[in-house]
Amino acid sequence: MKKQTNCYQELSADYSKPGLVDSVLANKLINDAETYVSLREETLPEITPEYNLTQIEKENRDWWPTHCEALRQGRGDILAGEYTNNLVYLCVDGPFYGKTAGTEREANWWAIIAQPGVTMTWPIVMFHGEVVYFEWNCMDDETNEVIAKGNVTWLRRGHRGACYLKCEQLTFYRNVFAPAELLQLIKR
């Protein structure tokens, strides 16, 4: 039988369960996330011998922990910055076309999964060139109740290209629209 391994072995931080990332590392990851967002080009870069799938996958692996921390901290500004202007976002409430088309809706989801007293985890993450696949769940810290879960596939062309296709299955067990007080916690 094949032995299961932790998907975070070669990444800078482990978000497979709560409590594995200290505040110093979390702050570094937010700074890195802001840097990665600033590298996004307006036009999706071509895959070339100089900017190849090996380089893109390395950049996606470097980026992944910054994405997790941005979500945990409710950094909607960073999360929205991770998308190309021509994003295609396929999900049950979509499809959404364009960078801003889905972010108003996503702000509700970000508010629910980043609310105080709730911790989001990503037990599974896999990479292949431009492809980033992950499974996530969000738990109430007091009751350990799973309040939301899902799986996502991104096509992300590294830091220069960002995410240009996102396919997501989401299940919310409590609340689908966030109350106003939670929406105010999401930085925009």
Q: What is the pLDDT of residues 93-106, one digit of tens each?
A: 889 999 888 887 88
Amino acid at position 78, single letter:
I
Q: What is the pLDDT of residues 159-182, one digit of tens each?
A: 999 999 999 998 888 766 677 777
User: What is the pTM for the complete model shown?
Assistant: 0.89
User: What integer pLDDT is reported at residue 39 of this predicted model?
Assistant: 97
User: What integer pLDDT is reported at residue 148 of this predicted model?
Assistant: 93
More confident residue, 33 or 6: 33
Partners of residue 97 on adjacent β-strands: 88
Q: How confident is the model at residue 121 (pLDDT cuts 50, 70, 90)?
A: very high
**Residue 122 in tokens:** 């990503």
Residue of 37, 117, 48 lying closest to 79 (CA atoms) = 37
Neighbours of 127 (CB within 10 A): 19
Which domains can be identified in the chain, with CATH numbers? 23-183 (3.10.450.50)
Q: How confident is the model at residue 111 (pLDDT cuts 50, 70, 90)?
A: confident
User: What integer pLDDT is reported at residue 69 of this predicted model?
Assistant: 97
User: What integer pLDDT is reported at residue 176 of this predicted model?
Assistant: 62
Q: How confident is the model at residue 115 (pLDDT cuts 50, 70, 90)?
A: confident
Per-residue pLDDT, averaged over 177-188, amounts to 74
Amino acid at position 102, single letter:
G
Sheet holding 163-172, edge to edge: 96-97, 83-90, 163-172, 146-156, 131-140, 118-128
- Average pLDDT over all residues of the chain: 92
> Would the pLDDT of 112 be above 80?
yes
Residues of the chain with pLDDT > 70: what percent?
A: 96
User: What integer pLDDT is reported at residue 177 of this predicted model?
Assistant: 66
